[in-house]
Amino acid sequence: MTTNAMLLDTYADYLVDNEFRLLISIDGDEYSQGYRVDANGDNSFNRVYNNIKLLQSKYPEYFEKYVMFNSVLHNRNSVESIYYFIKNTFGKAPSISPLSDTGIRPEKRNEFNQTYQNYRESIESSSDCERLKEDLFINNPQTISVLDYLQFKSGNMFRDYNALIHSSILESEILTGTCRPFSKKLFVTVNGKIIQCEKISHDYALGKITENEVILNFEFIAQKYNSLINILARQCQVCGRKKYCPQCVFRIDNLQTSSVKCRSFLTSDKNDILETRALIYLRKHPSLYKKLMSKSVARR
């Protein structure tokens, strides 16, 4: 379960008793947390921090085993400040995501641009970039490119047992990088809309929770999903990234217009250049191979 930890003190016992895996959203120290405000518009940092510390001191084993952190990168923090704050304060390595850049209203575009910070650039501008990359390990973009290369090109990695047993069948599929509905997560809005992920528009609701029932029509969901994936099928056929596509179709603006272009499309030549870079990075950091094979989970 993902939580902003605002009510963690109230529900901690229940979450611990039921061994919920918890992903806590916090953007770093008090200044970094400034965009996460409570109903009065006040910075939520003190309440969130105290709630997390309470959970950690009351249930140290649960905390160690089941709690993870997620932070959003913006103009009040940096990959470096987030990483070391969470690591030093809670003893955990956070996952860090940039602001989602889809679905921005045109009149808000300038404000968004001022708030947005590029993940890779933030790492490169840190005070000890090489150490940070080493510490970030799997969250370092260069490590991710090596991991993708190993997973999809080495023939030594499979994302799950299905891929191992049916690899030749799965290889011929074009699925884009979009998760299958409910295969990874589920998001419920405050209005009861069921969506496959919190990162995508509420227009893509797949069902609804009402006072009395959960409405889910699997035929409708399959048709809707397939029709949206198929919008990009022709581009995917000739795309250099189709075997390890990073693009979720729901995160492409104007997906349902006839002229839509995939923002992640790469020709085979350009993709070859990226793969070569991944190999060069691996050659410079040979210890990564073993570390990735033993410690990472396959991505898709």
* Residue 200 binds to ligand SF4 (criterion: CB under 6 A): no
* Residue 176 binds to ligand SF4 (criterion: CB under 6 A): yes
Q: What SS3 state is found at 178?
A: coil
Name the segment binding ligand SF4 (CB under 6 A); options: 64-72, 186-194, 214-222, 241-249: 241-249
Name the segment binding ligand SF4 (CB under 6 A); options: 37-45, 58-66, 82-90, 242-250: 242-250
- Backbone CA torsion sign across 249, 253, 256, 257: negative
* Residue 241 binds to ligand SF4 (criterion: CB under 6 A): yes
* Residue 236 binds to ligand SF4 (criterion: CB under 6 A): yes
Q: What SS3 state is found at 51?
A: helix
Name the segment binding ligand SF4 (CB under 6 A); options: 25-33, 44-52, 207-215, 238-246: 238-246
The Cβ of residue 207 has, within 10 Å, a number of other Cβ atoms equal to 20
Looking at beta carbons only, is 100 or 235 nearer to ligand SF4?
235
Question: Please, what is the minimum distance in Å from the beta carbon of residue 243 to ligand SF4?
Answer: 8
Report 111-150 residues binding ligand SF4 (CB under 6 A).
none
Looking at beta carbons only, is 56 or 264 nearer to ligand SF4?
264
Give the 3-state secondary structure of 111-175: HHHHHCCCHHHHHHCCCCHHHHHHHHHHHCHHHHHHHHHHHHHCCCCCCCHHHHHCHHHHHCCCC
Using DSSP bridges, classify how beta strands 67-73 and 22-25 pair: parallel, antiparallel or unpaired.
parallel
Looking at beta carbons only, is 262 or 292 nearer to ligand SF4?
262
Name the segment binding ligand SF4 (CB under 6 A); options: 55-63, 144-152, 217-225, 240-248: 240-248
CA dist 196 and 180 (Å) reads: 8
Among 74, 133, 242, 251, binds ligand SF4 (CB under 6 A): 242
Among 138, 264, 274, 298, binds ligand SF4 (CB under 6 A): 264
* Residue 265 binds to ligand SF4 (criterion: CB under 6 A): yes
Beta bridge partners, 25, equal 70
Beta bridge partners, 22, equal 67
Instruction: Mention every residue, 6+ apart, whose C-beta is less than 8 A from residue 86.
Output: 26, 28, 69, 71, 92, 93, 94
Question: Please, what is the minimum distance in Å from the beta carbon of residue 224 to ligand SF4?
Answer: 17
Looking at beta carbons only, is 23 or 260 nearer to ligand SF4?
260
* Residue 95 binds to ligand SF4 (criterion: CB under 6 A): no
Cα distances (Å, whole numbers) of residue 242 to 105, 173, 182, 266: 30, 9, 22, 9
C-beta of residue 229 within 8 angstroms of C-beta of residue 242: no
CA dist 96 and 118 (Å) reads: 11
Question: Please, what is the minimum distance in Å from the beta carbon of residue 176 to ligand SF4?
Answer: 4
Size of the site for ligand SF4 (CB under 6 A): 13
Name the segment binding ligand SF4 (CB under 6 A); options: 30-38, 119-127, 218-226, 260-268: 260-268
Point out which residues bind ligand SF4 (CB under 6 A).
176-177, 232, 235-236, 239, 241-242, 245, 247, 262, 264-265
